[in-house]
């Protein structure tokens, strides 16, 4: 067996190459220099990022778009701890990420090494598993383990901790040690189905239902199951509602789409009330999706299908729990329901959905087409619907942007055309998420990428436009410019009244001018009629990002994510749903 003497860093690079990994985002330090040198020599797609958190966000978005493992790295200490927020996003959202983290030389540990910290103790609760490499010869084995853990079950992030001396040491590896199982290059790497008896019961319950409704969460996209959901819904005439992360389970333009449910909805919450059977698929039923645990109302019959058994029964008690992969299970159930007559039986129930949706659209049309200045958020979302092609990807920053996008953006085909950071819902995801999504869209030959962020979120990460410009990425960043921490200011207005604002205002800034200094194209949009042309110009730009600085309402009574903006003041201490 031929051997090849190499550093631990090169062995890491060889393993990533075997997994066809990349792009990778990171900021180097001495501990991982042999890895960087090998990446250079081997031509691995590794990109310098300006902040490690943003690198992990970019890896997360790339993985969400492609299903492939997102990759990032960080050096000892502050580099490692900067990853925490983004890794929790991936953990909570079920996104496969492998983060390689440098650590101290083992002979020097706990002797006040520069930047040393209890980084593994800090990182451990933020990831699915922490893997410490104690021996150079185990690098191939442990990298395989990292990819297997990241892509199996409910996918998630894994930290591979590499001490300095292990990365710089050399070892004569056999070539056969760098062979990998290709199933772990993407998630889900393994699929399982529920117990056969439980599946039979679920089929019988669906057959007996008069008004069944599917509630789909982000697990649909983790499973790459949107086509399966669409086929199941069309074969049975069961309408589909979704969470923010589940948008695209069926196309929002489908007559079977009931839209967003939970804290904000179009028609879905009313359908949930009227339904006699709820089929929950790949959904954790968390606070936002359940409108602070009030949706569905008590007494509803629920079938809950999820890949994580611990999620079933966490917020409500289902009548039946199905532990399995969404796509594999739905395909099997669709086959079992063939010839059942459900499609004909539910024609009336399903046929009512597009009528209700049309009535909703007519009711809110004045806001969707509003001519008011500053620009109404509903008009911005409406213009995105009019101008983005079916294969576009809309990345939505946490909070304000994700809620408006979740409610009003319409995907035109099944799939993950809407990428919000709802695992942790931190702000600052928009630009790095756009970087990862743009690279992912290029890999999968998808259409344009648009990243929607607030001015507060953009202020956090605007330096990553230098990264995007350096990489020659042509995607669009929309800054929702309301000169405020909009969500907080709106809630302060709601709870305490006009003028009762504390630490929620930002300086008026022309971000279109700011980004010109980065070499990006900037367009200031102040009139609603300018939105469509600005979007078209941005999507036509080649080789660099374009930022649309969209001046939206400064009225906190109109900032909350709904077309029927909540303007009623509530008393202090009242619960806000």
Residues 137 and 164 in one domain: yes
Of 185, 209, 224, which residue is a domain's last?
185
Point out the domain boundary residue: 354, 378, 411. 354
Residue 200 and residue 181 share a domain: no
pLDDT tens column, 161-196: 999 999 999 999 999 999 999 999 999 999 999 999
Q: Read off the pLDDT of residues 219-257 as tens digits, 9 standing for 90 and up.
A: 999 999 999 999 999 999 999 999 999 999 999 999 999
Q: Is residue 292 part of a domain?
A: yes
Whether residue 141 is contained in a domain is answered as yes
Same domain, 332 and 450: no
The DSSP letter of residue 505 is B
Question: Is 419 domain-assigned?
Answer: yes
- For residues 290-313, give the mean pLDDT: 96
Residue 575 has pLDDT above 50, yes or no: no
The CATH number of residue 346's host domain is 3.40.50.1220
Q: What are the tens digits of pLDDT across the range 61-89? A: 999 999 999 999 999 999 999 999 999 99
pLDDT higher than threshold 90 for residue 566: no
Please tell me whether the peptide bond between 81 and the residue prior to it is cis, using omega within 30 degrees of 0.
no
Cβ-contact 268, 259 below 8 angstroms: yes
Question: Residue 314 belongs to what domain range?
Answer: 196-354
DSSP string of 23-92? -EEEE--GGGHHHHHHHHHHT--EEE-SSHHHHHHHHHHHHHHH-BPEEEEE-TTHHHHTTHHHHHHHHH
Does the residue 563 lie in any domain?
A: no
List, in sequence order, every beta strand (DSSP E) within 311-447: 320-323, 393-396, 418-420
- Judge if 219 and 169 occupy the same domain: no
> What's the mean pLDDT in 386-412?
95
Q: Which residue has the tokens 């982000």?
A: 218
Identify the pLDDT of residue 577.
31
* Residues contacting residue 482 through CB under 8 Å, at least 6 positions apart: 374, 454, 455, 552, 553, 554, 559
* Res. 206 pLDDT band, cuts 50 70 90: very high
pLDDT average, residue stretch 319-344? 98
pTM for this model (two decimals): 0.96
Does residue 207 share a domain with residue 178? no
Query: Which tens digit of pLDDT belongs to each residue from 479-491?
Result: 999 999 988 898 8
Task: Confirm whether 359 is domain-assigned.
Answer: no
State both tokens at 446.
């998808």
DSSP helix/strand/coil, 7: strand
Per-residue model confidence (pLDDT) at position 562 = 60
Judgement on whether residues 439 and 483 belong to the same structural domain of the protein: yes
Amino acid 568: pLDDT: 41
Q: How many domains are contained in the chain? A: 3
Tokens of 382: 């409406």
Please give the backbone phi and psi of residue 432, each rounded to the nearest 5 degrees, phi first: -65, -35
Q: Are residues 288 and 215 in the same domain?
A: yes
573 pLDDT higher than 70: no
Domain shared by 181 and 162, yes or no = yes
Other CB atoms within a 10 A radius of the CB of residue 196 amount to 9
Domain membership of residue 572 (yes or no) is no
Tens-place pLDDT, residues 141-165:
999 999 999 999 999 999 999 999 9
Asked whether residue 121 is domain-assigned, the answer is yes
Both 107 and 233 in one domain: the answer is no
What's the confidence (pLDDT) of residue 339? 95
Which CATH number is 17's domain given? Answer: 3.40.50.970
377-387 helix and 347-368 helix, angle to the nearest 10 degrees:
120
Q: Are 245 and 179 in contact (CB under 8 A)?
A: no
pLDDT one-digit tens code per residue, 22-39: 899 999 899 999 999 999
Tell which of 185, 207, 234 closes a domain: 185
Inside any domain, residue 94: yes
Regarding whether 108 and 213 lie in a shared domain, the answer is no
| Residue from 109, 111, 135 nearest 120 by CA | 109
* pLDDT-above-90 percentage for the chain: 92
Q: Does 231 lie in the same domain as 171?
A: no
* Digit-coded pLDDT (tens) for 421-442: 999 999 999 999 999 999 999 9
**Crossing angle for the helix pair 326-337 and 226-236, nearest 10 degrees?**
20
Both 379 and 323 in one domain: the answer is: no
Residue 565 has what pLDDT? 39
Which DSSP state fits 533? Answer: H
């Amino acid at each position: 067996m031929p051997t090849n003497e190499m550093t631990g860093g090169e062995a890491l690079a060889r393993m990533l190459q075997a997994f066809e990994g990349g792009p990778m985002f990171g900021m180097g330090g001495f501990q991982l220099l042999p890895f960087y040198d090998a990446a250079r020599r081997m031509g691995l797609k590794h990109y310098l990022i300006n902040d490690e958190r943003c690198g992990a966000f970019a890896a997360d978005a790339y993985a969400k778009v492609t299903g492939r493992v997102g990759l990032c790295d960080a050096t000892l200490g502050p580099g490692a701890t900067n990853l925490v927020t983004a890794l929790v996003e991936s953990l909570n959202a079920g996104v496969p990420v492998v983060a390689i983290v440098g650590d101290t030389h083992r002979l020097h540990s706990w002797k006040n090494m520069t930047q040393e910290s209890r980084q593994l103790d800090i990182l451990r609760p933020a990831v699915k598993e922490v893997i410490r490499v104690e021996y150079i010869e185990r690098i191939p084995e442990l990298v395989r383990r990292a990819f297997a853990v990241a892509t199996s079950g409910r996918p998630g992030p894994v930290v591979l901790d590499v001490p300095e001396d292990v990365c710089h040491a050399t070892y004569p590896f056999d070539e056969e040690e760098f062979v990998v199982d290709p199933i772990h290059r993407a998630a889900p790497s393994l699929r399982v189905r529920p117990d056969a008896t439980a599946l039979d019961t679920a089929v019988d319950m669906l057959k007996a239902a008069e008004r069944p409704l599917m509630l789909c969460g982000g697990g649909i996209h983790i499973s790459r199951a949107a086509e399966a959901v669409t086929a199941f819904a069309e074969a049975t005439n069961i309408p589909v509602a979704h969470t923010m992360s589940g948008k695209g389970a069926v196309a929002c333009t489908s007559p079977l789409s009931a839209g967003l449910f939970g804290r904000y909805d179009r028609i879905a919450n009313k359908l949930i009330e009227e339904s006699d059977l709820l089929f929950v698929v790949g959904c954790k039923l968390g606070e936002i999706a359940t409108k602070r645990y009030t949706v569905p109302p008590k007494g509803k019959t629920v079938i809950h299908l999820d890949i994580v058994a611990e999620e079933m029964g966490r917020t409500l008690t289902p009548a039946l729990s199905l532990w399995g992969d969404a796509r594999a299970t739905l395909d099997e159930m669709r086959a079992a329901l063939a010839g059942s007559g459900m499609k004909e039986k539910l024609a009336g129930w399903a046929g009512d959905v597009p009528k209700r949706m049309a009535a909703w659209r007519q009711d809110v049309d004045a806001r969707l087409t509003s001519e008011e200045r500053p620009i109404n958020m509903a008009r911005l979302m409406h213009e995105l619907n009019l101008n983005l092609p079916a294969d576009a990807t809309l990345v939505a920053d946490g909070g304000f942007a994700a809620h408006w996008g979740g409610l009003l953006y319409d995907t035109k085909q099944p799939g993950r055309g809407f990428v919000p950071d709802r695992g942790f819902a931190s702000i600052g995801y928009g630009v790095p998420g756009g970087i990862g999504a743009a690279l992912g869209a290029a890999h999968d030959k998808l259409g344009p990428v648009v990243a929607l962020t607030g001015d507060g979120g953009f202020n956090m990460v605007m330096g990553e436009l230098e990264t995007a410009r350096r990489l020659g990425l042509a995607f669009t960043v929309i800054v929702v410019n309301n000169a405020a921490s909009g969500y907080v200011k709106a809630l302060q207005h709601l709870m305490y009244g006009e003028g009762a604002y504390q630490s929620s205002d930002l300086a008026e800034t022309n971000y279109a001018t700011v980004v010109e200094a980065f070499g990006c194209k900037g367009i200031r949009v102040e009139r609603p009629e300018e939105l469509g042309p600005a979007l078209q110009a941005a999507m036509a730009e080649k080789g660099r990002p374009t930022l649309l600085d969209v001046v939206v309402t400064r009225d906190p009574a109109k900032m909350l994510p709904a077309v029927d903006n909540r303007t009623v003041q509530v008393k202090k201490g009242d619960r806000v749903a």
